[in-house]
Each structure stands twice: as structure tokens, then as C-alpha cells.
Amino acid sequence: MTYLKLTEEDAALQLVRRQRMRESLIGFAQNIDIPGAPVKDDQSLEEFDILMAQGGSIETGLAAHHILLMHKLQACMEKRYGRLMVFMPPGGAKSTYCSVVAPTWYMGNNPGAQIILASYGTDLAKKHGAKGRIIVQQPNFMDAFD
């Protein structure tokens, strides 16, 4: 087995990154590969499904509304009976952050937690579940919550 030699500075940065991932939903989202929507409008859903099935991901940046949403999601999850209603236009990444990123972060911090993902359709629930599995299998996730 080959080990990479880390400088003290690199090791310290890794520890800080892992701590940020555990403590902050935003820090978590910034340090994982988030399975996202197709980049091009002409990319078919089948191409997207094939990419995701092969373990691919499409980088998505954090816009101001993503950061606001994650602040509210984290505050909701930190309350005993937290509730949150999210009203955003289509394409605002509600599903990505509410149904994929936030539950995986919560499960990483609370390994025994039981989470129910409800959806209007089976296919959508399966897609969200598959994206969540992609996240929890990433080395960054495993490093942060090992």
C-alpha cells in the first residue's frame, strides 16, 4: 500500500476541511461532488442517467440562494421538531439540497438516524436515493464521517 506524505500544513488543512464538513451543511456541500442536473439543455435525461450510473457527477457551484437554503435547512435539522417550507422557482436546486445533500450530511452526523424520503413518484425518490448513495460512497464523505 502506498501512502502519500503530507506536510504538516496539508494535514492541518485536511483536518479543518473535515471539521467544516461535519459542522456545517455549507462546508459539507463545498467539499463533496454533488450529483447535479445536466449542464446543457440538449443533454437528454438518458445521457444523464448513464453518467450517474457510471459514478459521474456534474459540478455545481453554490449560489447565494443555495447558501441561504442550506442555512435554513441546517437550522431546521438542529431543532428537535424543526419544520421548513421551501418555496423557490423551478431549477433552484430544492431537490438537490433538500432531498440529497442535507439528508446525507445529517446521516453522516447522526449514523443511527432514520430518514424518510417522500416524493410524488417512485422514479424521483429512486433518483434522489441513488444520488445520496453516490455522495456517501465518496472518499471525502468517508474521511469526514469515519
Segment 35-71, tens digit of pLDDT: 864 444 444 556 656 665 665 555 556 899 999 999 9
CA-to-CA distance for 74 and 55, rounded, in angstroms? 27
Q: pLDDT grade, residue 2 (50/70/90)?
A: low
Q: Is residue 16 part of a domain?
A: yes
Kindly state whether residue 99 falls inside one of the protein's structural domains. Answer: yes
Asked whether 34 and 61 are in contact (CB, 8 A), the reply is: no
Inside any domain, residue 2:
no
The domain of 110 spans: 8-145
- How confident is the model over 112-129, as pLDDT tens digits? 998 888 889 999 999 999
What global pTM score does this model have? 0.78
Q: Does 1 fall in a domain?
A: no
List Cβ neighbours of 33 (8 Å cut-off, separation of 6 or more): 57, 59, 134, 135, 138, 140
Q: How many folded domains does the chain comprise?
A: 1
Asked whether 101 and 24 are in contact (CB, 8 A), the reply is no
Q: What is the per-residue pLDDT for 146?
A: 83
Whole-number pLDDT of residue 141: 96
Task: Answer yes or no: is 73 within a domain.
Answer: yes
pLDDT band at 131 (very low <50, low <70, confident <90, very high): very high
Residue 116 lies in a domain: yes
Per-residue pLDDT of 16-45, as tens digits, reads 999 999 999 999 999 999 886 444 444 455
Here the cell at position 129 is 436515493
pLDDT average, residue stretch 90-105: 94
